[in-house]
């Protein structure tokens, strides 16, 4: 699994955020578009793309997109 593919997959679940702003050090909660629906979309994307069950606790314990990527990679 590659970080750039994950970042593109994450950018794809956002409607209004410029994909160039999505980097591994991005604090996803700081994105204007981040809300509970986006969190559910992230969980669904992890399941669909990586067959990983991401939990709400996984998201709560993360700050950056790289943190989420590492959790998915370690669970996968």
Domain ranges of the chain: 3-8+24-75
For the four alpha carbons of 41, 13, 36 and 74, in that order, the dihedral sign comes to positive
Residues 15-53: pLDDT tens digits? Answer: 999 999 999 999 999 999 999 999 999 999 999 999 999
- Residue 49 is predicted with a pLDDT of 96
Which structure tokens are listed for 73? 């990679």
- Residue 1 is predicted with a pLDDT of 81
Residues 46-75: pLDDT tens digits? Answer: 999 999 999 999 999 999 999 999 999 999
């Amino acid at each position: 699994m590659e970080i750039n593919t994950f970042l593109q997959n994450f950018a794809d679940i956002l409607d209004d955020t410029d994909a160039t702003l999505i980097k591994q050090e991005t604090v996803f909660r700081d994105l204007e578009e981040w809300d509970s629906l986006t969190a559910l979309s992230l969980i669904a994307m992890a399941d669909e793309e990586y067959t990983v069950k991401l939990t709400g606790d996984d998201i709560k314990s993360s700050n950056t997109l790289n943190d989420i990527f590492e959790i998915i990679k370690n669970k996968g």
